[in-house]
Structure formats: C-alpha cells, structure tokens
Structure 1
Amino acid sequence: MQTVLATAGLLPALGGALPDAAFSPRQTPEPKAGSRRAFTADEEIFAEGDRIAFFYKVASGAVRTYKLLSDGRRQIDAFHLPGDIFGVEAGEEHRFSAEAVTDTKLIIYRASDRSTLAGDGGCLAREVVGALLRGLERAQDHMMLLGRKSARERIASFLIGLSERMTGEESINLPMSRADIADHLGLTIESVSRSLTQLEREGVIALPTNRRSVILRNPAALRRLDA
C-alpha cells in the first residue's frame, strides 16, 4: 500500500508508514473530514495541467475525466459514480481534465493534509488505495475493449460494467449522454445508437421512451458478448 500511495504522491502526507489498522479488511466508514462542494452539469472540476492539490470523492451525481487530443477529439478516460475517488495521479499535475456530468456533489480532500489521511485508523488511506486498484482494473478492461471488441461488444461491456457498479441493478439510469458514451468507447454517436437499437431488437435490452435509461432484459446474453 505504501508503494501505491507514494506513486500517487500521497505518502508524504502520511509522514511515513501507515498505521497497522490501515491494513484491516473491515468495512471503512464514511470519512469525517473533507469539505463538500456542489458542481452543476458540465462544470469543470480541474483541467489538464492543473497542479494536484486535492483529490475527490463523488457523493452524488457523476464525473467524467477526459483528455482533448490535438485535433480536438475528446477521449473520456472514465466515469466516476457515487463512492468513487478520483483525482489521484502520479506526478504534480493532472494528466486529465474533469467535469461534472450532471449536477454533482463532491467531497474534497487536500492531498497534503496528513491528519485527514491518517485519521480514523487510516480509513481514507485505505479507500484511496482501493480506488486506485479498481481504477487500474477498469483501465485494463478499457484497453482490451478499445483494442479488440466490436461496437456491440463495447456497448455490452459498458452496460454490464455500469450494472455491476450500481450493485447489479438491471434498470440503469444513464447519467451520461450518448456522445459521452461514444467518446468513452471510441465510437461515433451513430454507432452507439445503432448498437443499442440492435440489442433492443434482439430482446437483450429495452430502451424506455426517455432514452436515458436502459433495462437489461437478458443480462446473460450481454455477458456472453462481454466475454
């Protein structure tokens, strides 16, 4: 854990080794420290190149982290949902920008605040490490998705991933737009819409009228596409 925190630039804030309790597998309570701030939809949280002074936990809403390419195209790195921690990066500057997808509330922690990280038996430090490991796993899955999967398979992977992050719910309210999904999956909006419509015709999903929610009618078929 110390290696992970050191790489993220957080270990100096702890002043050395983590307390023994930081290695306990028990459930971690909500950290008591940290200020809260509300962001409106599409409001910038930080920009690429900003100095890293804070990291964040999503209390409600959703956040996208992304990078603008030299030709103006946008690649969305990840979507951060309630409970997720983001903004922890190696180095002194943010490599990605972050915006609120919808009206969002964040808990904001100062990266250099040793009392916040070490308090409550290292609960927050444990959360940060867990967030880093989950983020690494999702990044590896995303790399495989972009490199090897068809449009339908990418959509299937995306929907299964969201369902699992939302505690296995089969009715998913999508906070992000189809343009966001396209920029995350390396597709065009037309490909996203076409793939969703095809999955609906096959009876794998249902798309209610508002088009911002998806019902997984046949999760097993989605998982076969995701395999």
Structure 2
Amino acid sequence: MRRVRRVFTEDLYEGDEAVPRDPARAPFVGLLLDGCLREDATSPDGERLFALTFPGETLSPLGPRRCRGRLSAIGAVRLLTCDRDGFERIAQAVPRLRLNLLGLVQEQLAEAHRWQVLLGRKNASERVASMLHWFHARQGAPAELHLPVNRTELGQMAGLTMETVSRQVRAFEKAGVIDLPLPSRVRVIDPGALQTLSGDARTQRLH
C-alpha cells in the first residue's frame, strides 16, 4: 500500500463537481475511498442512462468513460487515481496488481448481473426494499444513508414507475422501517426488517 500511495494521487471532490476536474488529464484508473460517484450518459437512441460507484469500487479506465458521459461527485468524495505510466510502474513492482484490478472489475460485473437476475424474481415491494438495502450496505450500513437517486431514477433501476416507488417508500415509512428526514436522506430504523422486506432471505433459501 505504501508503494501504491507513492504513485496514486488522492483527490477530494465536493457535491456535483466533475471528475476529473480537468478532462484532458483523465486518470487511467481510480479507486473510490469515500462518497459516491455518478456517471450520466445518453445512449445512441437518446435514452438517458446513469451508473453509480460506491466505496471500494474501481473505475478503469476513466478516459474512454469520460468520452461517453459526465462523471460527477455526489456529496463529499475521496478518490485515489493514477495515470497509465504510473500504473505501469507500480504494476511492474507489484505484479499481482493487474490481476487484483481485473478481479475487482469482474466482481463488479458479476454483482451487477446478480442484481438483474434477483430483481427480475421480486415483486414491487421487494424491489424497492432491495434497492434501499443495497444502498445501505454499500455505504457501510450508516444510521442515515444518502440516497443518490430520485424516485424516478430509483424506479428505473428497479423496473418500476415513480408512483409505485413512492407508494412503497411511504409504506416502509408508515411501518416504521425507515424515516425520511429529507428526500435524499433515508434513516434506516430497522435494518433487519428492511432486509426481510427485500426478500433476499427467501431467495437464498430457494438456492
């Protein structure tokens, strides 16, 4: 890690700030330490797309991604970045670094695929609970999580309408599972109940 720290640069970003600040100096690889990153892009047929990155996840490579969309910070963000030359130097000193990076990217792809499969087997209530539980877990299970998407976008991720998402969130709040001090903040009052509502325990038993 000391070798990595000599080559990687730690950058701090504030809410809605573009990452990187200078597009001409986009790093080759990045590792998110704290906060949340959001990438917005438009598909060839005009559909608006977005992706989220949470602590412990990697961005590699950042250069081509920046050509297709805008990467920005959601709240305070701490990011380790490295250019291509620096990564080549550290990879020669630590040969397993390439494999570790590849493994991390593969894990993220596998997790995304797993989520698509699981969500397809769940009803509306379980889907919304799953998304909230996922955000809660990816942020380190805080007492109050930051919801990095609005209701429409949450519905897009879960395959539901905005009205259905809002109705389910209100039901969870009425049941005392969560509280909503702000539209973008969710206080998880009963994490165990939220996981039960997600249907994950039932899905695991089926396997």
What TM-score do you get using the length of structure 2 for normalisation? Answer: 0.71
Q: Distance in 2 between matches of 1:30 and 1:165?
A: 27
In the alignment, residue 30 of structure 2 is paired with which amino acid? Y
Post-superposition offset of 1:184: 3.3
Structure 2: stretches of 5+ with no match in the other structure: none
In the alignment, residue 206 of structure 1 is paired with which amino acid? I
1:39/1:185 CA distance change after superposition, 3 Å:
farther
Instruction: List per-residue Cα deviations over 1:102-146 (Å, max 9, x = no partner).
Output: 232211111343112333x34643541342122112220233256
- The answer as to 2:112 corresponding to 1:135 is no
Q: Distance in 2 between matches of 1:132 and 1:144?
A: 19
What TM-score do you get using the length of structure 1 for normalisation? Answer: 0.66
What does 1:40-59 correspond to in 2, within 5 Å? 40-45=14-19, 54-59=28-33
* Between structures 1 and 2, the one with greater helix share: 2
Which SS does the other structure have where 2:56 is aligned?
A: coil
Aligned residue number for residue 221 of structure 1: 196
1:175/1:206 CA distance change after superposition, 3 Å:
closer
Which SS does the other structure have where 2:55 is aligned?
A: coil
- The answer as to 2:146 corresponding to 1:174 is yes
1:103/1:133 CA distance change after superposition, 3 Å:
same
Query: Of 74, 79, 89, which aligns to 1:106?
Result: 79
Tell whether the 8 Å contact from 2:173 to 2:180 is kept in structure 1 after alignment. Answer: no
Q: Distance in 1 between matches of 2:182 and 2:28?
A: 36
Tell whether the 8 Å contact from 2:32 to 2:53 is kept in structure 1 after alignment. Answer: yes
1:111/1:103 CA distance change after superposition, 3 Å:
same
Tell whether the 8 Å contact from 2:127 to 2:198 is kept in structure 1 after alignment. Answer: no
The CA RMSD measured in Å over matched residues stands at: 3.4
Post-superposition offset of 1:29: 7.3
Tell whether the 8 Å contact from 1:41 to 1:102 is kept in structure 2 after alignment. Answer: yes
Q: Distance in 2 between matches of 1:128 and 1:64?
A: 20
Tell whether the 8 Å contact from 2:178 to 2:188 is kept in structure 1 after alignment. Answer: yes
Aligned residue number for residue 7 of structure 1: none
Post-superposition offset of 1:154: 2.0
Tell whether the 8 Å contact from 1:102 to 1:175 is kept in structure 2 after alignment. Answer: no
Aligned residue number for residue 25 of structure 1: none
Post-superposition offset of 1:166: 3.8
Tell whether the 8 Å contact from 1:156 to 1:223 is kept in structure 2 after alignment. Answer: yes
Q: Which moved more, 1:194-203 or 1:122-131?
A: 122-131
1:70/1:125 CA distance change after superposition, 3 Å:
closer
- Of all paired residues, the percent bearing the same amino acid is 21
1:122/1:29 CA distance change after superposition, 3 Å:
farther
Instruction: List per-residue Cα deviations over 1:171-212 (Å, max 9, x = no partner).
Output: 341251325434433444433222211222344x21142340
The count of aligned residue pairs is 191
- The answer as to 2:89 corresponding to 1:115 is yes
Aligned residue number for residue 38 of structure 1: 12
